[in-house]
Amino acid sequence: MHDEVRVVAGDCTTTFDGTSEREHRGDVVAVLKPDGTVLVHDADGYQPVAWLTRAETVQFVDGVLDARDGDQRLRLEVHEEHGSARHPVSRAGVPVGGCPDCDGDADSDGTLVLASGTVACHDCESEYAVPRDAAIIEETCADCGLPLLRAERGERVEVCLDRDCESLDERVREAFDRVWDCPESDCDGDLRILRRGGLIAGCEHYPDCDTGFGLPNGLLDGTCDCGLPVFETPTGRRCLDSECDHVA
């Protein structure tokens, strides 16, 4: 799962055309990242003297690097190369445990890291999406050995990181499917827990009744004056119906 970064050091002329135009000449280090980002560093400070983030096209031919993104262009001409190399790189994140898929493999690092909403193995192809509001905890799944995640969906739920091993959706359905009545006065339906992009509580009589509410991330905290449940969320108490203003 490792990508590759290219590094070139040398006496170069760097030209940038875009919102402003500038040119630099000197001994620099240029870094070309897998996503097309180009960074050109000199001896001063932490900020590059020139950069282009996630360029649409990047070419490096005959000592000239040409990166373009819309009206922006970064051009690096290498007059004298001091050195160049290609190195494997991967996402760096917070270590959250060992990878059970790599367990017992002497040639594998097998460290799971959390970065950008994903837990991925540092060495193999294993990768797991993490809900934005969930936290990875120290306990591991008794069945597969992966870390558990904790999320608040009406109640506090701890499930395996691998949805195929233990489904967060199913745990929420077990707790709240058909627990609440549809609030429409002429409807005798119950609210089902469904996934429609996110988790929703939607009337079982859909499409005859299209009542539905996004399930908040939080813990149950009583009942609203309108009859629907109230949730304590990171931004405060709110009714299941986000447009309801009857929360006591």
**pLDDT tens for residues 21-46?**
899 999 999 999 999 999 999 999 88
Asked if the structure places residue 186 within a domain, the reply is: yes
Q: Would the pLDDT of 247 be above 80?
A: no
Distance CA 141, CA 52 (A): 43
Are residues 83 and 113 located together in one domain of the fold? no
89, 123, 157: which is the final residue of a domain? Answer: 89
Asked if the structure places residue 247 within a domain, the reply is: no
Query: What residues contact residue 121 under an 8 Å CB cut-off, 6+ apart?
Result: 1, 99, 101, 102, 110, 111, 112, 127
Q: What are phi and psi of 143, to 5 degrees?
A: -90, -45
- Tell me the pLDDT tens digit for each residue of 125-153: 789 999 888 999 999 999 999 999 999 99
Are residues 104 and 128 located together in one domain of the fold? yes
Are residues 106 and 156 located together in one domain of the fold? yes
| Structural domain for 212, as ranges | 173-239
55, 72, 89: which is the final residue of a domain? Answer: 89
Are residues 224 and 195 located together in one domain of the fold? yes
Asked if the structure places residue 245 within a domain, the reply is: no
What's the DSSP call for residue 181?
B
Residue-level pLDDT at 57: 95
How high does pLDDT run on average in the chain?
Answer: 91
- Tell me the pLDDT tens digit for each residue of 98-107: 888 886 555 5
- Tell me the pLDDT tens digit for each residue of 152-182: 999 999 999 999 999 999 999 999 999 999 9
Asked if the structure places residue 225 within a domain, the reply is: yes
pLDDT tier at 90, thresholds 50, 70, 90: confident
Are residues 82 and 129 located together in one domain of the fold? no
Residue-level pLDDT at 45: 86
Are residues 122 and 158 located together in one domain of the fold? yes
Are residues 46 and 122 located together in one domain of the fold? no
Residue-level pLDDT at 132: 86
Element (H, E) at 170: helix 168-176
Number of domains comprising the chain: 3
Of residues 110 and 188, more confidence is placed in: 188
Q: Would the pLDDT of 240 be above 90?
A: yes
Are residues 49 and 123 located together in one domain of the fold? no
Q: Would the pLDDT of 245 be above 70?
A: yes
Distance CA 177, CA 114 (A): 31
Domain with residue 11: its CATH number is: 2.70.180.20
Are residues 83 and 12 located together in one domain of the fold? yes
Which tokens is 109 given?
A: 């690092």
Are residues 22 and 77 located together in one domain of the fold? yes
89, 112, 136: which is the final residue of a domain? Answer: 89
Asked if the structure places residue 246 within a domain, the reply is: no
Are residues 7 and 53 located together in one domain of the fold? yes
Residue-level pLDDT at 3: 85
Are residues 155 and 198 located together in one domain of the fold? no
Q: Would the pLDDT of 84 be above 70?
A: yes
Distance CA 205, CA 207 (A): 6
